[in-house]
Structure 1
Amino acid sequence: MLAVCLEEFFRTGVLGEISLGMSRESVSSLLGSPDLWGPSNAKNVETATIWKYGDIEFYFSRADQLFQIFSDDFEIPTGGKTLHIDPWVIHDKMLAETLKAALDDARIPFTVQDVPTLPGVIQIVTAGNVRLMCRIELEPDDDFEELGLFSFCLSDYSLLS
């Protein structure tokens, strides 16, 4: 079992021993087979572009390189049977101000950016280049029903080419 801490992930952009650019084989050697994999049209786990361990999704390029670590379906992030996650202070619907205060307390530098395509949403980008998406205001015809943190993501799309 691999133990990871989200505080360090936000600080460094490395999830325990897992970093972007790693091969699928290297991720598999650390975590074993995923709990779930997809998309649904994938022929098998070896060719699936998404591996899911608990609440954490790993996205692989056609060249079998890890290009994204993502989570948007969590109450308190968990990692399944082979990935033990210390969630630090992270939970769904954590208010942006609370999250920013926790990052300040941990001395993790961050910036705050508007998300033009998502009114009422900001992204908090940490020193490790992890993007945390937070709803800060509700819109009248919005699918979101509550304020706060709803996803975090580290990606490097240059690994797709």
Structure 2
Amino acid sequence: MTVSISLYEFFRTGAFGPLHLGMACGQIEAILGPPDDYAVLSQREHWQCKEDAPWRYSKCWRYGGVELFFDEEKNLEALHLDYLFECLPSGGEKIQLDPWILHPGLSLEEAEIACTERQLAYQVRWEDPFNEGVAHLVFETGADLYFEVEVEDLRPRGLWLLYFPDTRKRYYDEAGHLRKLKGQKRGAN
């Protein structure tokens, strides 16, 4: 069974098709089946593994280029798509991804124009304490596109990765409603 996922809808709603942050890994396996690959198990995880499904003990599952990260309670805590400067995002055989605007060479300016045209709320962050020369286009839902830029003149060189961490406290209030981000832009306002 293949699940279709639109990255535009993901940026708009924060739901990755039928998947969402906080979802139990067992629910994800019921929807997508076993992962194509998974992170190497630690000695502790390997010791706990007493069955033919070792991926259930891993903190990272891969479906094509989509990486799903789980917390200690085995709930989805982050989603990651890397190497977007090399190839279109892929979900392997189990996830059919509609990349919307994502493609190798996508510039920050092109992404901003597309988001403005579709009235997606976002903000651009130029500061990144861990990655020099990186700008972030952060959607209201918390999805974060990393763009490699030249440090000297802050000119975008292209899309690098998509990261969606479980930072719900930052992006959602206690009632589960999206918070308005300080300095955010919304297209055609």
Structure 2-normalised TM-score? 0.75
In structure 1, stretches of 5+ residues that fail to align are 140-145
Compared CA separation, residues 120 and 130, structure 1 to 2 (3 A): same
Q: Distance in 1 between matches of 2:8 and 2:167?
A: 23
- Aligned-pair RMSD on alpha carbons? 1.9
Compared CA separation, residues 93 and 115, structure 1 to 2 (3 A): farther
Please state if 1:90 is matched with 2:91: no
Please state if 1:136 is matched with 2:135: no
Deviates more, 1:39-48 or 1:88-97: 39-48
Cα distance per residue 1:27-60 (max 9 Å; x no partner): 1111101111003545321101000001110000
CA displacement at 1:136 relative to structure 2: 2.0
Cα distance per residue 1:47-89 (max 9 Å; x no partner): 0100000111000011010000011124111101111101111
Please state if 1:126 is matched with 2:139: yes
Of structures 1 and 2, the larger Rg is shown by 2
- Among candidates 163, 177, 180, match of residue 153 of structure 1: 163
Across the two proteins, how many residue pairs are aligned to each other? 153
Runs of 4+ in structure 1 displaced over 6 angstroms? Answer: none
More contact order relative to length (CA 8 Å, sep ≥ 6): 1
Tell me what 1:36 maps to: 37
Partner-residue secondary structure (3-state), 2:90: coil
2:113 alignment partner AA: A
Compared CA separation, residues 84 and 8, structure 1 to 2 (3 A): same
CA displacement at 1:157 relative to structure 2: 5.3
In structure 2, stretches of 5+ residues that fail to align are 47-53, 170-189
